[in-house]
Each structure stands twice: as C-alpha cells, then as structure tokens.
Chain A
C-alpha cells in the first residue's frame, strides 16, 4: 500500500454515504476471489501434467543412476521441477506477480540452472568437446522431448492457459515451463552424460520445443486478443 493511499483512506473514512462501503476493499476482495477461481480452474490441468510426466517416467523408466548423480545436480533438477510445475505457470496465468527485477533474476537463474542441471557432469568434459561431437547426437531424446512437449502444450492450450493475461509476453512463462518439464523428463530418463548427446539432443530439443510452443501460444493469445476486440 502506498503512502498516498494511506493518506487518502482516513479522509474517505469520515465521509457520508461513501464511508458505508469501502470500494477499494470490495475491489481487492473481487480480485482475490477471481484469483482463487483461476487457481481452482487450473488445478486439474496441473494435475494432468504431473500425471502425464509421472506416467511417462514410469512407462519409459527412470535412469538407473538418477540418485547417483552429484547432489548439487539433483538439487538443481528438483528446483527446475518446482519452477516448471509451479512458479512459471503461476506467473504466466496471473496468479503470481513478481516485480521486474525478480522476473529477470528468475529467468536468468532458470536458464543457468537448466544448462547446469541438464549437462551436469558433461561440463567437466568440455575440453574434449570435439571428440564427443563425433558420436551420436541424441536425436531420439530430442524427438521424444518435442513429442512430450506437444502433449503438455495441448493441455495448456485446451485449458486456456495462454489467454489469461493481457501482455503477450506472459505466455512465454508457460511455454518455458512446458519446455523445462519436457527437458527434465528426458534428463531423468536418459543416462547419457556426453556433451555430443546432451547439447543437441537435450538442450537443442528443449530450445526447438520452446520456440514451437511459443509460436503456438502466441498465436492463441493473438487470436483471443482479436476476439476480445
């Protein structure tokens, strides 16, 4: 609450009929109610996404060395799950409104964390990158990631997640969540640690998915904006 508002409120409190109803409180109450409704609306979609990701992992299998990864890498992967399931969708849907600096910090942290958590041990092989690039390039992982991402994108599209906020940029938080969830899904399935596989197959696939999802989400947002006039 700003200083000016605090100055204004006592003034409005001692007026006549207006003092009977505090419109600001009504408006804030209405916004809170809408936020609760929105949360309730998107909870099933979130559960569906979690079920799909969990089901996929159960179906294709979790990598054998999942818990043998360095603890910091596992912690970063867990952080990414939280970001992609909760934080990014909440921002994209208008349930959380962090300040600009927080948003920038969050985006930068997410990008850095994604690279480190996905590549992890491979970073120590950076010196011998040219040797690694001679091998296979993880096309299977990339394709699987894009396929899984499309399912998540469809859930987002059908639930109306891309048309919740007025700013077109807001859809990128959700598409980033979609790409991150798919990347994490593949990271927890594929035990490969070589950069030749991880860079094009995992991170490259995630980048392509992010672009595809952003295009679809932006079109959905644009159509909705036009429909609203």
Chain B
C-alpha cells in the first residue's frame, strides 16, 4: 500500500485550499502509518473473505435529528473567497456542457 508522507498530505490540503502546522502534518503521517499497518494485517488474513464489510466500527444507532432552525449564513464574500473567478456574485466556470 502506498505510504503517506508529509508532501502528499500537504499537496492534498493545498488542493482543498487549506494548510496545517508541521506538528499537525506529523501527527497525521503517524496516524496514516498505523492505519496502513492495520489494513495490511486485515488484508493478509484470507479467512475474512466471506464476511460482509461493516460500515461503522460498531452498532451506533442514534435518535438525533437537528431542529429545523436556520442560522446566520456565510456572507457572500466569505462563501466566494476561495473562488478564482466570479461574476455577479456567482462563481464563474468554463462551460462544460453543450
């Protein structure tokens, strides 16, 4: 399995338009190491082929539903801050449909 290093994580973060501190990258790299080792252990065990994969790590049903109360939205400036091209308060993209 592909190793995750700081450069890969940094690249991913920058593509998503955010950044982290060096300590945070180190923590994340260590966590990926552990996850990948665990995946390798699971992957090397052939006796699991007949088991349905779980979606959640344990039975974790909830009854929580959010009350339908609207909150203050982002300002338009905040919402469009990361957009490179704007027009009339909207995000402008090259047309990709005919």
Q: Are A and B interaction partners?
A: no
Chain A interface residues toward B at CB < 8 A: none
Chain B interface residues toward A at CB < 8 A: none
